[in-house]
Structure 1
């Protein structure tokens, strides 16, 4: 086990680097209208939601190899390479002038989402198992970068113009590359790790159940953070700044309740906590669908859902290190990838439903249906059944 000072530095650097990467990951969402206008691109409703979902795709799929490489080569090196790479798509976004090239830029931008697998793998080795629920919850606070994007970027664009947003991101990436290089300790490496050996975690049914559950909780966190600005503008004619504020509030709530979910999971059986979380998500999604066009209830339910998905994310990641001791990065990659894909599909599905029916309600009810499916599987396998991940 590492010294306390090393552990604290690693936790701080892993969390802050993730925060910067998550700012990059959701940099399109709060500014999509301005970016398209600035670049002279006109899109349909489906094309716009597809564009917003695109960064989530690569950021989800690539979590698997990035988590494995973090185990093998050390999270510090992988973090540095990742942040240097992200400068490329950040430079592209305000400069491309076609839908095809914008999709390419958005896809590359998605690599920033892999920072979650890198960060969790990096931090895990510095702390004992009995503290990992809280610690991994704290590391997950790096998700708050999505809130910073939603809150600050519309304001920066209004005062200094669109380019100022992306130049700021480049400066932040360079600063954190230097900090990571000179300050952060390197994590333990599993030099025997290989893609083939690490993919063996796919044989563990716990990997897939946790991935499915995270598809719901983190997917809902990402989807709502990504779409809340669009909801506010389309449903209630909110200004871009006000819409961004509420997206930021949702992201902050979902992020700051994550460590609480991890902490509670250190004290109470995680699967029991998750059961009640899924029940509450189901009820909340149904209420949201019924009162989708009532602004006060809509905003209240956004706050409630933010709390529930944050708790759920923390609860689930308490269990990840217990699936395979030597391949935490690989399990993190699998589970994180599914969670990211959970944020990829809802914007596309909601865009299709909105274009076909003129409303979002059916898409909201589908969230409740999926939560019920997760609840049934959780009850059958882990609550009523004999199988346990964390005793």
Structure 2
């Protein structure tokens, strides 16, 4: 079999990205926007109208994790058509429905269409190379803006929505039929725990970290604006439905472009500082909306600015997730964070609406939202290290003989790729006895140089102790502490030897000799390929030397 030509591989990747984006647009059109439009044909009160909006969000929040786990097992080639066919059935039901209860039931089924985000994002994360994955995920999320634009256009040509529903159902069926031959079988091959047990594991992971709330605020904020902004402009400012949809479409498009920019940024620079700025700016804009006079043309740009800030943060976080996960767990991780986004959208919307209702003024809701965003900004500023490391997915041990491994890491590789490097070290520690030799010339105060490795490994290896000790050739501490590192290894701990960069080779050689290491590996990072493991030496032969 001839190897794939790089140019043809790039074209195929671009084609898959286009297919995933179109699939997301069609499914989100069914999920978020069709129910509210069809509800206009019925004599419904505001509470019933909001129920139509919220039910699909809740259903998607429940289903995204199971669908992500199934995508890990069966691949997007199977799950994308399956989700699209379910969405098509719900769209037909909405188009034919003649009463509010039937619309609510069909809208609940339409919530399954929201899981297309998880399926498509998993496909992109597995298909696109590490160096462009953040940008590609940003391009993929433009599907949400396309869905809003399609909705505004269909409202103009078919206000009732029945014909538009049938056309959309046909488009979804057509997409499902084309997706099978167009999408390759990229299943990550996860065959570990059962789907139910895997879902429980991911829920525990999300519950054990406050990062899930951070994802909910960022990703859920844009989702809430996409779903509720048109209703907000109509009810609060009395805008015509078509104008409200056009404004919503423009705001969602700006947010989508901002997500693209956030993904591009994450491909090149750390995320925490960008998140702090975005959340802080969004909080200020919410306060401005609360203080602004009730004029839609004045409030709409401020709301758009908030959406852009949330979009930047959401794109950066989505890229961080997609770049850090392993192929066999991409669906599960994106599923649990996507579920947090859906539930976050509902929670934020209920908090804003509840504050407005209790206070009798629209300003209260924006003050609540501003307080949430300000809290997120302060959290990221105080915990930037852990935020940059992403969700700590525990590696699955691979059945193989245990080896005594010494892994060499340079501080320059953790400056830009800490999440990827830590994830690779955790995989090694899950299978081998591991000692890390970390070369760093950073001052010990105010932060220990190895903090990024210690924090990341402790989160990903809860059953292991992780310790870091300074060693050096000039101080003579290698020989003194070699026995201590041996005790750490015997006890099952992961030990990190922190040494000046100039002494990295010598310290590695002495520790490897004393510990009788089976192999020495170099863990390095590049923006194009992520974290890579290169064999330096093993008992079967001599490789290249570790550079100073």
Q: TM-score, normalised by structure 2?
A: 0.65
- Alpha carbons 2:141, 2:256 under 8 Å: kept: yes
1:316 is aligned to 317
Question: 1:331 and 2:336 equivalent?
Answer: no
Q: 1:223-302 residue pairs with structure 2 within 5 A?
A: 223-291=224-292, 293-302=294-303
Alignment RMSD, CA only? 2.4
1:369 is aligned to 371
Q: 1:368 to 1:320 in 2, by over 3 A?
A: same
Question: 1:16 and 2:17 equivalent?
Answer: no
Q: 1:237 to 1:29 in 2, by over 3 A?
A: farther
**Runs of 5+ consecutive residues of structure 2 not aligned to the other structure:** 391-416, 419-548
Shift of 1:157: 1.9
Question: SS at 1:63's partner residue?
Answer: helix
Question: 1:166 and 2:172 equivalent?
Answer: no
* Whole-angstrom distance in 1 between the partners of 2:243 and 2:387: 49
Deviation per CA, 1:97-153: give whole Å up to 9, x if none.
Answer: 444333221111111111111111112111222221111111222222432244223
Shift of 1:91: 1.5
- Alpha carbons 1:123, 1:136 under 8 Å: kept: yes
Q: 1:1-391 residue pairs with structure 2 within 5 A?
A: 3-28=9-34, 31=37, 33-35=39-41, 37=42, 41-43=43-45, 45-158=46-159, 161-193=160-192, 194-195=194-195, 196-197=197-198, 199-204=200-205, 208-291=209-292, 293-325=294-326, 326-383=328-385, 388-389=389-390, 390-391=417-418
Q: 1:20 to 1:365 in 2, by over 3 A?
A: same
Question: SS at 1:187's partner residue?
Answer: coil
Q: 1:246 to 1:203 in 2, by over 3 A?
A: same
Question: SS at 2:44's partner residue?
Answer: coil
* Whole-angstrom distance in 2 between the partners of 1:365 and 1:255: 25
Structure 1, 51-60 or 373-382: larger mean CA deviation: 373-382
Deviation per CA, 1:197-254: give whole Å up to 9, x if none.
Answer: 4643445469844432221122111212222222222233221111111011111111
Q: TM-score, normalised by structure 1?
A: 0.90
Q: 1:149 to 1:237 in 2, by over 3 A?
A: same
* Whole-angstrom distance in 2 between the partners of 1:317 and 1:353: 29
The structure in which a higher percent of residues are strand is 2
Question: SS at 1:190's partner residue?
Answer: coil
Q: 1:131 to 1:66 in 2, by over 3 A?
A: same
* Whole-angstrom distance in 2 between the partners of 1:386 and 1:42: 44
Shift of 1:59: 1.3
Deviation per CA, 1:340-373: give whole Å up to 9, x if none.
Answer: 1122234444444444444332122111111122
* Whole-angstrom distance in 1 between the partners of 2:384 and 2:242: 44
Q: 1:130 to 1:201 in 2, by over 3 A?
A: farther
The structure whose Rg is larger is 2
Shift of 1:81: 0.7
**Runs of 5+ consecutive residues of structure 1 not aligned to the other structure:** none
* Whole-angstrom distance in 2 between the partners of 1:207 and 1:175: 41
- Alpha carbons 1:292, 1:361 under 8 Å: kept: no
Deviation per CA, 1:297-334: give whole Å up to 9, x if none.
Answer: 20211221221122111100111135541311111011
* Whole-angstrom distance in 1 between the partners of 2:317 and 2:148: 22
- Alpha carbons 2:91, 2:110 under 8 Å: kept: yes
- Alpha carbons 1:60, 1:340 under 8 Å: kept: yes
- Alpha carbons 1:30, 1:150 under 8 Å: kept: no
The structure in which a higher percent of residues are helix is 1
* Whole-angstrom distance in 2 between the partners of 1:313 and 1:139: 13
